Amino acid sequence: MIDKDQIRQQLFERAQELVPVLRERATETEKRGYLPQDTIEDFQEAGFFRILQPQKWEGYELTPKDFFEVQTKLAEGCMSSAWVLGVVAIHNWQLALFDDRAAQDVWEKDTSVLISSSYMPVGKVEHVEGGFKLSGHWGFSSGSKHCEWAFLGAMVPPKNPGEAPDYRTFLVPRADYDIVDNWDVMGLKGTGSHDITVKDAFVPEYRTHRSLDGFSQNSPGNAVNTDPLFRLPFGQIFVRAVSSSCIGALRGALNDFVDFNKSRVALTTGQNVSQDPVAQKAAADALRVVSELKTIMYSNFASMEETVNNGQELNIEDRVQWRYDSAMVADRCADAITQLYLSCGSAGIRTEHQINRAFRDIQTGRTHVANQPGKFANNFGSVAFGRETADFFL
């Protein structure tokens, strides 16, 4: 039996130790366009990918709070590195929702094997004996060059007239897909979020996961992975993987902002920037945003876990609000980092400046479909008026 409290402490201490290391590697990471292998090895050695991985497969089965504390801390050093950890490590949790034969395919020989993803529902699916034939071209597969498998999204056409299409995640081995090296972007440059193409790959039925099973908290993998962790809704876990690194990046940028401006004198006014009310407010607002967003996230997960641990069902109203809470993260962080950026004066426009990198990374993270709060706000408000939810990725 593993000592979870000891592991929690070790994980967070190691994350703190890696912040200056990731910061030192950040420029190289941007230039490469994907994470240095040293970073992946550091994450593997520290056990970060195993935080939400089933104990059956040498994971720790800790809580979402444990995982996102590590991710946000690492993002203080490099948001690209934390982003990749967030997305890829969450797949080790999702794999536990599949039929256990899928986990055997991935981890039977090596429990450190990693999975990338693109959940865009663009795959073309054909029913064949024993499973499906899958083809398509997916974008934005973060960390794909470090992974041996991929989760790919597609709508399965109904077998019978009048039935609804069925959104599923397909698990595909590296031999069945190509990586298109086309990641040339403004921010999050080090995530290596390349495109993936598949042509007529056979995917057995057991290597698919139905979105409806994730929504209903009743997935095939629950037969063997019985910890309540694996009954949390997929839609609530994954979205935090693409929003929470913004919080850490903002906190790291604030640290840099204070260090940079503590003794700097503005050329236009001759005043120490630390005495500038605009700079002071920018720092105060950033501190407030970090504190508020972490508090909301951890409160949400605590409520989820308490309900699931007690064997109760999560209600839709809470799930809709939690979904909106996650979507708001990047928006709030983007506003806060913009004020820090503007208070750095002309020095902030240089791409090697830490504030500049955080500004570009957070703004880029904001463009993820899960981080655009408009439709989630509308759904939240609609449900508050007593209408049915229009979103089931909750």
Would you state the pLDDT for residue 159? 83
| Torsion, Cα of 290, 292, 295, 300 (10° steps) | -110
b vs e for 238-255, b when ≥16 Cβ sit within 10 Å of the residue's Cβ?
Answer: bbbbbbbbbbbbbbbbbe
> Does position 345 have pLDDT exceeding 90, yes or no?
no
- Reading the block at residue 216, the tokens are 């209903």
Would you state the pLDDT for residue 33? 96
The tens digit of pLDDT for each residue in 69-121 reads 999 999 999 999 999 999 999 999 999 999 999 999 999 999 999 999 999 99
Would you state the pLDDT for residue 270? 67
Would you state the pLDDT for residue 271? 75
For 184, phi then psi, to 5°, come to -135, 95
Of the ranges 5-19, 347-361, 364-378, which one carries the lowest mean pLDDT score?
347-361
Instruction: Name residue 124's beta-bridge partners.
Output: 135
Amino acid at 387: R
- Reading the block at residue 156, the tokens are 């399965």
Domains assigned to the chain: 4-99 (1.10.540.10), 113-209 (2.40.110.10), 234-384 (1.20.140.10)
Contact 170, 99 (CB under 8 A): no
Amino acid at 52: L
> Does position 355 have pLDDT exceeding 80, yes or no?
yes
Residue 393 banded pLDDT, cuts 50, 70, 90: confident
In terms of pTM, does the model score above 0.85?
yes
| CA dist., res. 94 & res. 91, Å (int) | 5
